[in-house]
Structure 1
Amino acid sequence: MLFICYPKCSTCKKAKKWLDENNIGYTERHIVENNPTYDELKEWYEKSGLPLKRFFNTSGNIYKEQKLKDKLPTMSEEEQLKLLATNGMLVKRPLVIDVDKVIIGFKEIEWQEKLNS
């Protein structure tokens, strides 16, 4: 299982602590030092079944500075995925990627259901 996070992010720290406390093995990946590629994002998006907007860090500074709230609706999926691949700080985190699931963000109840089954 791949755990993609930004180590300074408080939500990522909580998620990592939860994984450790629940003895769930993972490989950690720093989202800025090793930004997800276009191909990875496309695969995860398709596997997740979630709207592409969920992959954006909508509370991040870059999202706000680039006024992406207004721009995303007019962009194609391909354009959005390419944009996400340019900067890890645009991507919502943490991300958990497993063989059959993709989880975005940390909600303990959701993780309990999806990872402790």
Structure 2
Amino acid sequence: MVTPVTLLAYAKCQTCTNAIKWLKSHGIEPEVRPIVDEPPTLEELSAWIPASGLGVRKWLNTSGQSYRAIGKPKVDAASDLEIIRWLTKDGKLVKRPVLVRGADVLVGFRPEAYEVLFL
């Protein structure tokens, strides 16, 4: 049985587009979930953040407007739980794409990380 691949992505994000192209060029058809319309839930993030091996702050899209609207000082002062709550409310605040395959979770698109996972 093939483990399904879910990719939380934003349609206007070139990095997300590149990830989808990489997956499809390797015969992998991901279920693409629009991250702005369906941001990750608290339950998902509670499982995915530890599975990713990244700290909560590494899940922030620090180059986006949502991050700038909050402001670095407020982010720096926030607890991990507060940041997780922000991520559940604003998909544009989440670094993307987020790839979920079983217990494996990758944040951002690095072809070498995708190769390790799939090849």
TM over 0.5: yes
Q: Which amino acid aligns with 1:111?
A: Y
Counterpart position of 1:15: 19
Residues in 2 aligned to 1:57 and 1:105: alpha-carbon distance in whole angstroms: 9
Structure 2 spans left out of the alignment, 5+ residues = none
Give me the identity figure in percent: 35
Residues in 1 aligned to 2:12 and 2:102: alpha-carbon distance in whole angstroms: 27
1:108 is displaced (CA, Å) by 1.0
Q: Which amino acid aligns with 1:113?
A: V
Structure 1 spans left out of the alignment, 5+ residues = none
Secondary structure of the structure 2 residue equivalent to 1:29: strand
1:74 is displaced (CA, Å) by 2.3
1:61 is displaced (CA, Å) by 0.7
1:80 and 2:73 matched = no
1:90 and 2:81 matched = no
Counterpart position of 1:57: 61
Number of residue pairs the alignment of both structures matches = 115
Q: TM-score, length-normalised on structure 2?
A: 0.90
Residues in 2 aligned to 1:38 and 1:60: alpha-carbon distance in whole angstroms: 21
1:25 is displaced (CA, Å) by 2.9
Q: CA RMSD in A?
A: 1.2
Asked if the contact 2:20–2:30 (Cα under 8 Å) also holds between the matched residues in 1, the reply is no
Residues in 2 aligned to 1:100 and 1:35: alpha-carbon distance in whole angstroms: 19
Secondary structure of the structure 2 residue equivalent to 1:85: helix
Counterpart position of 1:109: 112
4+ runs deviating over 4 angstroms: none
Question: What are the Cα deviations for residues 78-101 of structure 1, in whole angstroms up to 9, with x where unaligned?
Answer: 111111111100001001011121
